[in-house]
């Protein structure tokens, strides 16, 4: 009974056959083509050629795999360097855009010299707290520059931003006009045949606007009316631009109405502000001239349309 050999014996036989074929090929190469060894060599070559091709293909595959394996580390390092460079470039673009914005806003602040007749301190916004129950910003100027609690703060276009809540030697926290704890006396600009309406504007919880609940029911208030600080206000200078009426909700029974006011100042996009060194009792901060009034209106209108 024949005994079948294991894998080791089959490999040995295959190796012997290949060795014999290679020997015949080598020997046949030295003979004329017509010789018997030449014929045998060519036959052996035909048998071995597929094996050589398979071995060559396997060698190329192994080579390609090894090359890819050795190059993978370089590719990863190149990708990491490219990502780092892209991140750095994006950061430079953001910084450049921020710098251009601040330069533009600082130029507008310098333009306030033609509007306000009180001293002011220009400051950079360095922190924000736009919470539902507290809306404040922090600036990089404080008591070292004469800033104290209660002073009004304006945007580069002169629109009211808020009031200083607290101040340290090199910082000040400003409560924005949309903060629920903020309140300011206001009046509408009035129109021909319609006297201005006065009331108190307050911030709202989680809101981006102010609401006036105590405008006189008989006063003519319309959407689009300009709103300024009232001469009756004691906590802020009079005649400062506040915002524009955007919505009027009449209460049931004709007992009153809630008037919504959108601030002129872009509170979410502020980068620089001006703190007015003004205290209650100092009077108006805006020069009472026709040119000043028209300039303030134009700038405030521009701010509203941009928001």
Summarised one tens digit per residue, pLDDT across range 79-126 is: 888 888 888 877 777 766 666 666 566 556 666 766 788 899 999 999
Based on DSSP, count helices (H) and strands (E) in the chain, helices before strands: 3, 12
Length of the chain counted residue by residue: 307
Threshold 0.85, pTM exceeds: no
- The two tokens of residue 84 are 């780092």
- The two tokens of residue 244 are 């524009």
> With b meaning 16 or more CB within 10 Å and e meaning fewer, what string describes 73-109?
eeeeeeeeeeeeeeeeeeeeeeeeeeeeeeeebeebb
Pick the closest to residue 284 from 117, 146, 109 (CA basis). Answer: 117
**Would you kindly state where each structural domain of the chain is located, as residue ranges?**
9-65, 115-306
Residue 53: pLDDT band (50, 70, 90) is: low
9 or 175, which is more confident? 175
pLDDT surpasses 80 at 19? no
Class assignment of domain 115-306? mainly beta
pLDDT surpasses 80 at 2? no
What are the φ and ψ backbone dihedral angles of 91, each rounded to 5 degrees?
-65, -40
Pick the closest to residue 126 from 66, 70, 174 (CA basis). Answer: 174
What integer pLDDT is reported at residue 167 of this predicted model?
Answer: 96
pLDDT tens digit sequence for 245-295: 999 988 777 677 899 999 999 998 889 999 999 988 887 887 765 333 333
Min mean pLDDT across 50-59, 156-165, 249-258 is at 50-59
What integer pLDDT is reported at residue 31 of this predicted model?
Answer: 47
pLDDT surpasses 50 at 199? yes
Query: What is the Cα–Cα distance from 98 to 254, expressed in whole angstroms?
Result: 49
User: What does pLDDT average to over the chain?
Assistant: 76
What integer pLDDT is reported at residue 76 of this predicted model?
Answer: 80
């Amino acid at each position: 009974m024949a005994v079948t050999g294991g894998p080791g014996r089959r490999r040995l036989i295959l190796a012997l056959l290949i060795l014999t074929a290679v020997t015949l090929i080598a020997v046949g190469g030295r003979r004329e083509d017509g010789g018997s060894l030449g014929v045998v060599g060519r036959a052996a070559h035909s048998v071995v050629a597929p094996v050589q091709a398979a071995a060559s293909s396997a060698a190329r595959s192994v080579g390609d795999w090894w090359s890819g394996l050795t190059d993978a580390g370089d590719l990863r390092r190149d990708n990491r360097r490219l990502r780092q460079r892209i991140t750095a470039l994006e950061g430079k673009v953001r910084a450049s855009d921020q710098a251009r914005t601040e330069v533009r806003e600082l130029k507008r602040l310098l333009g306030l010299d033609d509007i306000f007749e009180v001293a002011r301190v220009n400051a950079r916004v360095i922190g924000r707290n736009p919470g539902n129950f507290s809306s404040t910003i922090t600036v990089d100027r404080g008591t070292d520059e004469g800033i104290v609690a209660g002073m009004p703060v304006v945007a580069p276009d002169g629109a009211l931003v808020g009031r200083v809540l607290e101040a340290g030697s090199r910082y000040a926290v400003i409560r924005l006009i949309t903060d629920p704890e903020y309140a300011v006396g206001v009046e509408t600009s009035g129109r021909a045949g319609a006297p201005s309406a006065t009331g108190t504007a307050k911030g709202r919880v989680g809101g981006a606007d102010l609401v006036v609940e105590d405008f006189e029911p008989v006063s003519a208030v319309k959407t689009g009316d300009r709103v300024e600080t009232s001469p009756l206000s004691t906590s802020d200078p009079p005649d400062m631009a506040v915002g524009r009426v955007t919505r009027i909700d009449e209460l049931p029974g004709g007992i009153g109405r809630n008037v919504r006011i959108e601030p002129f100042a872009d509170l979410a996009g502020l980068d620089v502000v001006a703190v007015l060194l003004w205290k209650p009792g100092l009077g108006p901060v805006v020069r009472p001239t026709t040119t000043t009034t028209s300039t303030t209106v134009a700038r405030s209108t521009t701010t509203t349309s941009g928001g």
